[in-house]
Amino acid sequence: MQTIFTPSILSFIMASDDLRATRLEKAEQLRQQGLQPYAYRWEVTHQAAMLQEKYAGLPAGEEVEVEVSIAGRIMARRVFGKLAFFTLQDETGQIQLYLDKKRIEVTMAEDTTAFDRLKQLTDVGDFLGAKGTVKRTEKGELSVYVQNYQILTKSLLPLPDKWHGLTDVEKRYRQRYVDLIVNPEVRDTFRKRALITAAIRRYLNDRNFVEIETPVLQTEAGGADARPFVTYHNTLDMDLYLRIATELHLKRLVVGGFERVYEIGRIFRNEGISTRHNPEFTSIELYQAYGDYNDMMTLVEELITQPAQEILGTLQISYQGQAIDLTPPWRRITMNDAVKEQTGVDFSQFSSLEEAKSAAKAVGIKAIDDCDSIGRLLNEAFEQTVEATLIQPTFITDYPIEISPLAKPHRSQPGLVERFELFIVGRETANGFSELTDSVDQRQRFEAQAARKAAGDLEAHDIDEDFVTALEYGLPPTVGMGMGIDRLVMLLCDCASIRDVIAFPLLKPEVTGE
């Protein structure tokens, strides 16, 4: 019998640790028996959860003479002399394989090695296909009573301890595939994430919103206060920036005649990493012509409660031990009133910055030396005193114009804009406003931004001339909104860290030392 191992592979095996070498040897033995350790296909007729559901009422000890064919990964092996129980896991769940030496040998064309092969050449981690009948064992475990089987993929590396599992968070993030194999709740989170984004898309599509993709690579990143990633285009010989928002392009689409547009896509911000920040994350932004920020707050309520109701089946959720009631309508309160409520200071009454600063200091607002306007001071006071208290869903409205360069001036309150942010569990969850449609005003706001950038503000941006030109052609009255999908999923799936809702979060490379 010829070996398929080349000398270099053999030396690799010899140099490998025993665990891998042992399994490679088993794969080779399979080949020598004329069997393929890496099969091409397997006809699957049933999945574990289907069988568990369908035969939930099958009494212990009874067999159903139906033929089922399943496939999955071996998660546990309990092997006796002439009998074995394997736990097989597929995408839907687990089911036991009841492996009886006599039955397997009879049905597999009197193959007297078929059972021994299972005992000797399979390991936890291997993929196996199995056909047989359905039987609930004497001990009450629903099983596939196997008639024949095939090893589909030989696994070379051992899975984590079946009892303690994989708990090392670093390893879980670096080798998410292992995390997914052994931690069912992790699979569940990503499945829910997919359902949430699907529900959001369905909600918007049903209301005639059109999803349009806008550029990730841009010559100037704008639409938010954030530092961009810089990359380089070889043949154009120029720096390009990864987008920090989708806002300015989506509004161009509204100028172009799309009255309802949105985009769910990846955003990149060159900032620190924390339990709430990953350098790349997913946002949804949507724009609706002829509406204002009041309309959008109502839409946001639906956009969040519909998926919640659909996927969780309730609006009474729990986040890290805190009870959250998502039942709309949600409280709406202006930023000024919220700060007044919390501190007793009414910032709208001040006519000078000095007056406002001393009042702020008197109630313990810190680090206000850099605030160059009452509006910025109000925002600082809000962040320091109110934000963390907003546990139940709350819309904070009517923001200072200085910190909202793309929002429309308030129709009745000078110095403010028609903007809202949604807070849940003390975190900013969504941000929306009646869009600034006056191109002259927009140019002036951009110029103020550019001045801040020139003064050293790394999160400020230059004038986007083409965007101003688009506004000059005319943007209808429009309301827009942006929301972090990752944070929404964290909320709905009760995840403490953003890394729990991103399949492959950014980590520094591991130093292997080899």
d(CA 69, CA 129): 7
The answer to whether 283 and 498 have CB atoms below 8 angstroms apart is no
Phi/psi of residue 85, each to 5°? Answer: -120, 125
Q: Does residue 217 belong to the site contacting RNA (CB under 7 A)? A: no
Q: Does residue 82 belong to the site contacting RNA (CB under 7 A)? A: yes
Smallest gap from Cβ 30 to RNA, in A, equals: 13
What are the DSSP E strand ranges found in 425-485?
427-434, 478-484
Cβ closer to RNA: 299 or 490? 490
Smallest gap from Cβ 497 to RNA, in A, equals: 4
The answer to whether 280 and 268 have CB atoms below 8 angstroms apart is yes
Smallest gap from Cβ 327 to RNA, in A, equals: 27
Cβ closer to RNA: 111 or 441? 111
User: Under 8 Å CB-to-CB from 55, ≥6 apart: which residues?
Assistant: 64, 134, 136, 142
Residues forming a β-bridge with 265: 283
Q: Does residue 33 belong to the site contacting RNA (CB under 7 A)? A: no
What part of residues 129-168 is at the interface with RNA (CB under 7 A)? Answer: 137-141, 143, 157-158, 160-168
d(CA 125, CA 216): 39
CA distances, 438 to each of 20, 252, 307, 402, 429 (Å):
67, 14, 35, 16, 28
Strand 238-242 relative to strand 322-325, pairing: unpaired
Q: Does residue 207 belong to the site contacting RNA (CB under 7 A)? A: no
Q: Does residue 59 belong to the site contacting RNA (CB under 7 A)? A: no
The answer to whether 324 and 318 have CB atoms below 8 angstroms apart is yes
Cβ closer to RNA: 280 or 337? 280
Determine the interface stretch with RNA among 117-125, 352-360, 439-447, 461-469 (rule: CB under 7 A). Answer: 117-125
CA distances, 218 to each of 46, 362, 396, 459 (Å):
48, 45, 32, 16
Cβ closer to RNA: 90 or 464? 90
d(CA 55, CA 34): 36
Two tokens, residue 356: 């406002």
Q: How many residues lie near RNA (CB under 7 A)? A: 60
Smallest gap from Cβ 280 to RNA, in A, equals: 15
* Of 51, 89, 123, 335, the one binding RNA by CB under 7 A: 123
Q: Is 247 exposed, middle or buried (0-12, 13-18, 19+ CB in 10 A)?
A: buried
Task: Let me know the angle formed at the C-alpha of 332 by 327 and 336, rounded to the nearest 5 degrees.
Answer: 150
The answer to whether 374 and 357 have CB atoms below 8 angstroms apart is no
Smallest gap from Cβ 448 to RNA, in A, equals: 25
* Of 206, 354, 369, 514, the one binding RNA by CB under 7 A: 514
Two tokens, residue 4: 């398929």
Cβ closer to RNA: 411 or 508? 508
Q: Does residue 120 belong to the site contacting RNA (CB under 7 A)? A: yes
Determine the interface stretch with RNA among 46-54, 70-78, 213-221, 482-490 (rule: CB under 7 A). Answer: 70-78
* Of 9, 53, 67, 78, the one binding RNA by CB under 7 A: 78
What part of residues 340-379 is at the interface with RNA (CB under 7 A)? Answer: 367
Cβ closer to RNA: 384 or 397? 384
Q: Does residue 102 belong to the site contacting RNA (CB under 7 A)? A: yes
Smallest gap from Cβ 128 to RNA, in A, equals: 14
Two tokens, residue 289: 């012509």
Determine the interface stretch with RNA among 184-192, 267-275, 335-343, 484-492 (rule: CB under 7 A). Answer: 267-275
Cβ closer to RNA: 26 or 252? 26
Smallest gap from Cβ 250 to RNA, in A, equals: 30
What part of residues 306-325 is at the interface with RNA (CB under 7 A)? Answer: none
Contacts 24+ apart (CB under 8 A), 46-50: 46/70, 47/90, 47/91, 47/92, 47/93, 48/72, 48/88, 48/89, 48/90, 48/92, 48/93, 48/94, 48/95, 49/92, 49/93, 50/92
* Of 57, 321, 414, 513, the one binding RNA by CB under 7 A: 513
Q: Does residue 18 belong to the site contacting RNA (CB under 7 A)? A: yes
Smallest gap from Cβ 226 to RNA, in A, equals: 14
* Of 35, 58, 124, 216, the one binding RNA by CB under 7 A: 124
Q: Does residue 5 belong to the site contacting RNA (CB under 7 A)? A: no
Cβ closer to RNA: 279 or 409? 279
Rounded CA Rg of the chain: 30
Smallest gap from Cβ 279 to RNA, in A, equals: 12
DSSP 3-state of 492: helix
* Nearest CA-CA partner of 430 in 275, 274, 305, 313: 305
The amino acid at 389:
T
d(CA 480, CA 260): 10
* Of 11, 205, 274, 389, the one binding RNA by CB under 7 A: 274
* Of 49, 79, 195, 448, the one binding RNA by CB under 7 A: 79
* Of 173, 241, 347, 433, the one binding RNA by CB under 7 A: 173
Phi/psi of residue 275, each to 5°? Answer: -65, -15
Q: Does residue 510 belong to the site contacting RNA (CB under 7 A)? A: yes
Cβ closer to RNA: 359 or 502? 502
User: Under 8 Å CB-to-CB from 134, ≥6 apart: which residues?
Assistant: 51, 55, 58, 63, 64, 66, 68, 142, 143, 144, 145
What part of residues 469-498 is at the interface with RNA (CB under 7 A)? Answer: 496-497
**Where do contacts with RNA occur on this chain (CB under 7 A)?**
17-19, 22, 26, 76-83, 85, 87, 96, 100-102, 120, 123-124, 137-141, 143, 157-158, 160-171, 173, 272-275, 367, 496-497, 499, 505, 507-514
